[in-house]
Amino acid sequence: MKTIKNIAVLTSGGDAPGMNAGIRAVVRTGIYNNLNVFGVRRGYDGLVKGEILPMDAKSVANIIQRGGTMLKTARSEEFKTYEGRKQAYENIQKLGIDALIVIGGDGTFTGASKFIEEFDVPILGMPGTIDNDLAGTDFTIGYDTAINTVVDAVDKIRDTAESHDRVFVIEVMGRDSGLIALRSGISTGAEAVLIPELNVDYDAIMKRLDKSRKNKSSRIIIVAEGDKEGGEVVADKIKENFPHYDVRLSILGHIQRGGRPSCMDRVLASRLGVASVEGLLEGRRGEMAGLICGQVQFTPFNKAIKHIDKINENLTRIVEILSL
């Protein structure tokens, strides 16, 4: 096994709060272990184009509290081709980079697996996505911040909902996963939560709205963007069934990606950053560092990228019980 002396870190795919904390942890753990550390700008696109810069302890000062990613991120069509990956390999070879740490989700780890297969480069991953839909970790970097952002926004919306006796349909992120919607729905006392993992019984939801306490001054419906109907259709159906309700739609959008990472996300990213560097030095490759039951564990990329499509049914039951 080749001795690792130089490593590089990149962030890929959608940004997530806590990525900067992860970058910081990788850089400083690398330096602590007498490694030379490089940062790759704009993810795999920067790897192909050679946007690689040396990093030191000072270069990651005062970033742990910042959202987004200081290294920036981008989609890369070139990296999806063999020629693009070959160019990326040549670029790291020129700088003597022995191994990579990539922070991202499904697409990030799929690309890393291909790169390992073709060029035998040691790579470890860190789960950076607000959707929390990767196997091999209880929580992904950015998820806790995202759901707290949603909760804060919905709490504010409820203030105006109560002032006007309104029904608010609130669409949150989650193209393939409803975990943001589900946990934030419980946290905000939603009447119903609609997510892509479950077939929605609209008749049941309408009956629930009809049978709910008549003296309720506000009603909140949380809809994941990946739901088969989406927030706009859900709002229209409620208007159709309850023309006497004042129904409004609010799409939270990209505010869920931004903002200062929570304490949980900062600590999670820091733990996984340290573990990833140490994992490379131990000879690990092709794995994602995650946190399961409070302990760092490594999961092969091909298992980590399998979307979690089984929702904890107890959580959906809690929504119904507490919406009385």
Tokens 């690990």, residue?
Answer: 284
CA distance 7 to 65: 24
Q: In whole angstroms, what is the distance from residue 4 CA to residue 16 CA?
A: 28
> Residue 138, Cβ neighbours under 10 Å: how many?
14
One-letter amino acid of 249? L
Residue 10 phi, psi (nearest 5): -145, 160
Answer yes or no: 159 catalytic.
no
Transcribe 220-252 into DSSP letters. Answer: EEEEETTSSS-HHHHHHHHHHH-TTSEEEEEE-
Angle at which helices 106-119 and 82-94 cross, to 10°:
70
List, in order, residues 6 or more apart from 250 with CB less than 8 Å away.
157, 168, 169, 170, 171
**β-pairing verdict for 123-127 and 52-55:** unpaired
d(CA 38, CA 255): 30
Cα angle 130, 79, 90 (rounded to 5 degrees) comes to 125
User: Comparing C-alpha atoms, which of 231, 251, 279 is closest to residue 101?
Assistant: 279
Could you give the CA distance from residue 93 to residue 129 in angstroms, rounded to a whole number? Answer: 29
Active-site residue among 15, 45, 98, 131? 131
Residue tagged 């990213």 (tokens): 269
Question: Structure tokens of 137?
Answer: 């970790």
Cα–Cα distance between 99 and 71 in angstroms, integer? 17
DSSP 141: B
Catalytic residues: 131
